[in-house]
Structure 1
């Protein structure tokens, strides 16, 4: 038996199976030993230094270059600041637990930041106001936001419902469980399950959390890159975050660069601001430099945008290792970034600031001269744009209409007694107004629109334009037949009631039933009408714009007083507390009218805040020999510090709603008719084409009867008079329309064998307009509208009417060309580019756009005429008494008889050897005398003709109110 066992064992040992088994046992033993070594012997070491490492490269942002004025005064720079950031580097059991804990962490971090007086980022493009979410973006930028949130690569991939999604709908999507799961409240069971303490979130907090979560989503493929929660935070916030860091997963304090604009309001239209790159901006920049990344801060407007690649600098990088959840293990390699280059502008800082203040003072002076202590303005049987007055009640209401007084605060918990009282009266007014509206809409004998009171007319118009045809499109604009007789009866003839119009709209299927019927789209016409009424009533009880309108009628009906408006300015800290003034207002010793006039006079209430007409204007000054722009002022402006780095969406939203339109650059983005400032071009065209000579005398009768209808001269319209015999020089001085009508008529072939040909005249006028640069953009490195040379009515176009439309930048280039006798330069804001140590990289040279070659006699005639405008026009003594020889031309463009005329002045000085060309325009400025007065202050300041304190008084400047004939 032993032998059999031995043989069997020996055979087994000799078998391949045994050898393989032994080999496997040895290998298993080695593996077991290795596992024991790694997990038991070295386990604690490897726990501290997780072996799964991934190499990552992180770019380091460079310091943005500075922006200086021509004299080396800093206009923009970057400084060190601290930001609060958060990384998604936690470990969670599942998605629902992650959402709950991450949301709570973000919430606690936000509370910590705000408790220390700092603000969190709110750059999602959505704000919460008046009980609803609203977009601060529009157009392509809004579509891009929706595409990103809905996970679409292209905006074209959005479904119709996604493309039309309201801000409320988009926020609902972000807060759903499948996205970020940000609920109004948690149950006790949910709080226990997720290990959180928060009860839930308010609408404002949900928006804040969604903003941060969206930013973290954008970084999801780079979890080691932190998302910014707050920028430029205080030392108290830094300390608080560091103290609580153990309980705030992923929270950090990071050094960052903060862009600063020392004199922001004066230069924002030129410099612009910076912010996070949009997808479109990123793609465009990557074509120039592939180093640009999604979270980069780039120029969004102005010189910051135009010179982006020069200011940005060169990025550095860090090569690092991160673990599986994005935590940085070690930094293996690092390269420091290279700062951006410095940009010097042609702008003179002090001149720019002076011109802004001159313009504001002038606007305030015009307003004061036009405000009357009445409730309403009655234009009378013969309305005139020059005679429009501003009732003081329009001033009171303007403070509400332009959101200076916050009506949403009237019902707040911390509202003052006055605010609460006004709120109670408002609630009563709204209930009464809505009841009266619904009574009209329910009445079988509803009043035709033309027979309603003015108040009720405004209500009915608002319902159609804003409630029914607003964003929700209950009354579908695309379906309405504007040629339909009933539509015309409602809009033009005003012979039917809104009830009749809506019932007809229902019969024509102009109403989108799905917007008002809920779950039951199968309604008959009466049921649809009732649904429309229910929709209107519900909307009016919530609509804040309708609410603003009600305050106007509360004022007019003495349900709210002007004195209360004045006191509300103190209650809401619009004005600094002044016990004496408040006491005098309450006692009646100071009238609300006198109070308002005084505050406007002192610029404590500004034209921009009132947003009445006029409230805006522009001044541009260029070097007459080079096209260098010395000042480019637009009023009103904004604080670009609040838009830069991380945008303050609430502030941006307030600017968008501001009725004074501070985002509009009045120098480059306000194209208006040039009026009589175009006449020198017509004069040159007439002289060069042989239609007239410098000695030609034309009798100006006040009416030009060669065409029908016959245009008239300003002197005929105002006084029933005429200028009589005029030469080209005196016609420029007198701004004689009839003289230039005749020139335009002759240029078009009038009084010749070929006969009058409109196209011929327009072609010649266009030829000379283009010679002076009016056919192209000015060259300024800013967003600028295209000019428009008139293409209709050669006779009227000769005095700057027709379809002529130019910005101030177009006009000042033309005037500079007049001043230097023919060198038409592209305007520029750029002086030079240097490295940070001052080493010159590039000096920007003027670019000649066109050289105008005309006879010296033509130059002389136009110059002499423009000199006489400033020297011999009685209403322009502000120019003739300067002690400086100035050449100029005034211009007025009518908008309508219900709005003040637009006012314009252009000129150059000194007359003998021009240094600067100036253009001043005040939209709805009544008379060009106001612009000439502002230009006079500009000349005084630039040439140091009087004390600076006299020019820049800080109070409203006087307005002559004289109407200049132009």
Structure 2
């Protein structure tokens, strides 16, 4: 009967369902009754977590694979935002920060209200502005606009266009934390403060730090009163980081990196009372050679600027707590070096202990970047540069492997020779083999976020001095100055390209008189001697100014007749630009932006003269100079009047016309008479190109300005037959597994257009003689390799500003015959009379004006030291088979020859002269015989 029923399909289906149901009931009974306690414990005590696995940053290596930037493992403490119980967040945050502080571990503190030593509540934004003002003697500047104007006057910047002024200030100071994109100008920290307040819906920008603190504490985070404000701030440090994470609940928030063993142990011991907290192992950037190639490698930092947030967080999906490249290769190749983070799904118990790994998605390390640098050559360049600078400062003897050199000027030790740069390039590819700057810094300081103390240690001791040592400044890319005599080869080449024989000899008569100016050969200026008849080769070797004055003007001043060639400024400018001296070099590191230098021109000169005139009139013209019967005597009218006068510079009207126009503008007749002579004869007549300008052009002075990178490239073009390459620091990038390689081949820009490329040989022979019979012969007397080089001394006018201008002035009041009481009284009077003039917000400016009013004959800068000259040494080696080009620049180095020992030691290293070899069982240096 049963079997008959089973033959019925319907009954079979019913029986099947019954059996399945019974099995399910049995399994449920087993789970709920027999194993219920075990599963209940797992459900309560085991948690599935997704732990991020940060990718290692790609390594940076030199051309031979030697490590320059790598990674090391470190402990990181994180909070998983989606695992934090709301009612526990305050307790967890406070416990965690207390542990870190007890063990002196740095943590990410981005909450911008702190307590001063006096217990006051202070915005970190305001503190940054205040500290910057103090360092730069700008405490009298109430606003960013006033600070900007005070700096413009202090550094003698004649331009008034804010963008150009800002660029010049950046070149002089390194950084200027003022944005000119808003009117009125704002400190960048002011903008950040506004953005932070707005993020909490606080619209009152005038709130005190205390008021803002209480609003965030009580209204936003609702931190109970049982916590003190000090404790509340620690809580808000963590909650600020969690808040910035936004909607990314599943992503961990990094609280601190590179933890000490003590902190890791204590956190692990207390993990049950720290829900959501996790210890992870993450790679941290490290630089095994410390300061080596710091300006090439660059540094890291937190994502902080709005443009960084927009690009990296919103566009590329970075975490807000990620560290990114800020400068150098670390910045330029950030996306290449970054890598792809992985993750690990694990089961942990209630104590946070690992039970089981469910799934791992391995991180993918970033691609490696292989530089063109030779680490050994870089080391020699850096060490030799530092040693020579310190020898110059002491006025002693430099003992190199390939020569002993007495580095003492006629005026004694060059104690301000504290900065310099060296660039070495491969002339056949444009690859940069070494780029050294001194002083430098240790990029390890930035690996997990630099502390305030470390940051301040990298600031110049005298912010007011543009040549004060600045460790963060890449001199090679960002400092453009006159090349001095190293420019003369271009003038000589232009001359022989126009048809002048290199053997044409010009008689040096010592000096050339042009109007009221005397342009002397350096030997005449130094000892009233002359060099006699010289052709191109001897003129380069001995750096004969007289010869190049003549060639540049197309006139033989020695014989009083025209040279048999056509020569003018346009021709000189054309050849200068051929060598890339008006262009950027193409180098990959563009933060800070590479300077392009500048070739002198009538347009640039006119713009400079107009800016100088504007500044002079702004300083001298007052409302009392305006005839109030003709015009309204207001600051706005005065400003418009000055602009009108400045606009006449290019036209250069006659004296009578200038006077008539000034009277028509409403300037009192007696004052118009004075200003007419000033404008006409001191400025308008200078706003055109003159023979004197060509004289300065010829010897690399005046308005020339080129970087060490540009100068090295110029040397390479001379040496390689006229081929101009873009300079490069990167050879290739390569994936961690070596399967993907991107090459960066040399980029040939052009072969410069010359009438006869053999003319390059003529100027190069002159450079060869520099080290044989000329100005640098003593440095290469025993050197076994023939090289081509050129010394250059570029004038740096002006006085070195003291750290504290007011203290300096007070110190010398007696010498100027005035008393402090009289000066203070006069200052008060001037400030009252000019209370609407922002220039009188600057106390040092007012004090100078007061002293001059009391004693018009006082020379207020007489006790300040003069700047020493820049020293250049440039060239290539070997002479007979050129391979590398080198430029050496020393700030306040006195004489160009002082860069020659650095050049020599670099050539020795490149050519393998320092290689140690075994001979007859003895290790000896591979020295070539002369």
Same fold per TM (> 0.5)? yes
Is 2:339 the partner of 1:345? no
The match for 2:766 is: 865
The separation in 2 between residues aligned to 1:84 and 1:774, in whole angstroms, is 51
State the match for 2:887 in structure 1. 919
Instruction: Tell me if the contact between 2:598 and 2:705 (Cα under 8 Å) persists in the aligned partners.
Output: yes
Partners of 1:830 and 1:911 lie apart in 2 by 27
Question: Residue 309 in 1 paired to residue 335 in 2?
Answer: yes
1:221 aligns with 2:221: no
2:877–2:884 contact (8 Å) kept in structure 1 = yes
Residues 888 and 899 in structure 2, CA contact (< 8 A), matched pair in contact too = yes
Alignment partners' CA distance in 2, 1:732 and 1:266: 35
How far does residue 663 in structure 1 lie from its aligned partner after superposition?
0.8
Residue 733 of structure 2 corresponds to residue 833 of structure 1: yes
Indicate if the aligned counterparts of 1:370 and 1:389 stay in contact, CA closer than 8 A: no
1:881 aligns with 2:782: yes
**Partner-residue secondary structure (3-state), 2:876:** strand
Secondary structure at the counterpart of residue 357 of structure 1: helix
* Contact preservation (8 Å) 2:323, 2:448: yes
Measured after TM superposition, the shift of residue 260 of structure 1 is: 1.0
Contact 1:832 1:844 in 2 (8 A): yes
* Mapping of residues 702-781 of structure 1, within 5 Å: 702-706=510-514, 708-746=516-554, 761-781=568-588
**Against the structure 1 CA distance between its residues 112 and 943, is the aligned structure 2 distance closer, same or farther, given a 3 Å change threshold?**
same
2:497 maps to: 688
Q: Structure 1, residues 108-147: CA drift from partner, whole Å, max 9, x if none?
A: 4233224335333356789988877532893466356324
CA contact 1:274–1:304 (8 Å) conserved in 2: yes
TM superposition shift of 1:664 = 0.6
- Determine the structure 1 residue equivalent to 2:256: 230
User: After the TM superposition, which of the residue ranges 876-885 and 343-352 deviates more from structure 2?
Assistant: 876-885
Tell me the CA shift for residue 390 of structure 1: 6.6
- 2:443 is matched with which residue: 619, 625, 640? 640
The separation in 1 between residues aligned to 2:887 and 2:191, in whole angstroms, is 39
Deviations 1:781-806 (A, max 9, x none): 11311211112523311211121101
Equivalent residue for 1:78, pick from 39, 47, 71: 71
Q: For the residues of structure 1 that align with 2:425 and 2:907, how far apart are their CA atoms? A: 13
For the 8 Å contact 1:123–1:646, the answer to whether it is kept is no
Correspondent of 1:247 among 273, 285, 303: 273
Please identify, of 662-671 and 787-796, the stretch whose mean Cα deviation from structure 2 is larger: 787-796
Instruction: Show CA shifts across 1:712-770 (max 9, x none).
Output: 2211211122222221111111111121111221299999999999xx83322221122
User: Aligned partners of 2:411, 2:887: CA distance in 1, in Å?
Assistant: 25
| Segment of structure 1 superposing worse, 675-684 or 737-746 | 737-746
Instruction: Report whether the alignment pairs 1:629 with 2:441.
Output: no
- Alpha-carbon separation, structure 1, partners of 2:551 and 2:746: 34
Cα distance change of structure 1 residues 210 and 780 upon mapping to structure 2, 3 Å threshold: farther
Question: Map of 1:383-532 to 2, 5 A cutoff?
Answer: none
Match of residue 491 from structure 1: none
Check if 1:145 corresponds to 2:210: no
Query: Equivalent residue of 2:513, what SS?
Result: coil
The TM-score normalised by the length of structure 2 is 0.61
SS at structure 2 position matched to 1:352:
helix
**In the alignment, what sits opposite 2:310?**
283
Does 784-793 or 863-872 show the bigger shift? 784-793
- Displacement of 1:698 after TM fit? 1.7
Q: Which structure 1 segments of 5+ residues have no match?
A: 1-37, 184-189, 323-327, 372-384, 392-611, 950-966
Q: Deviation at 1:688?
A: 1.4
Is the Cα–Cα contact under 8 Å of residues 620 and 812 in structure 1 kept in the other structure? Answer: yes
TM-score w.r.t. the length of structure 1 is 0.59
Give the superposition deviation at 1:709. 2.5
Q: Distance in 2 between the 1:776 and 1:639 partners?
A: 31
Q: Is the 8 A contact 1:182 1:206 kept in 2?
A: no
Q: Cα distance 1:321–1:798, how it changes in 2: closer, same or farther (>3 A)?
A: farther
Q: Which residue of 2 is the match for residue 931 of structure 1?
A: 899
Task: Indicate how the Cα distance of structure 1 residues 943 and 60 shifts in structure 2: closer, same or farther if over 3 A, else same.
Answer: same
Deviation at 1:179, TM superposition (A): 4.3
Q: Determine the C-alpha separation between the residues in 2 that align with 1:673 and 1:713.
A: 18
Counting only pairs closer than 5 Å after superposition, residues 753-832 of structure 1 correspond to structure 2 as 761-783=568-590, 784-791=594-601, 792=605, 793-832=693-732
1:256 equivalent in alignment to 2:292: no
Superposition CA RMSD, Å: 4.4
Q: Tell me: CA distance 1:748–1:253, structure 2 relative to 1, closer, same or farther (3 Å).
A: farther
C-alpha distance after superposition, 1:558-577 (max 9, x if no partner): xxxxxxxxxxxxxxxxxxxx
CA distance in 2 between partners of 1:638 and 1:293 (Å): 27
For 1:726 and 1:128, the matched residues in 2 are separated by 72
CA contact (8 A) 1:105 1:248 kept: yes
Aligned counterpart for 2:390 among listed residues 353, 361, 364: 364
Contact 2:585 2:596 in 1 (8 A): no
Q: Please tell me whether the aligned partners of residues 771 and 850 of structure 1 are also in contact (alpha carbons under 8 angstroms).
A: no
Partner SS, residue 257 of structure 1: strand
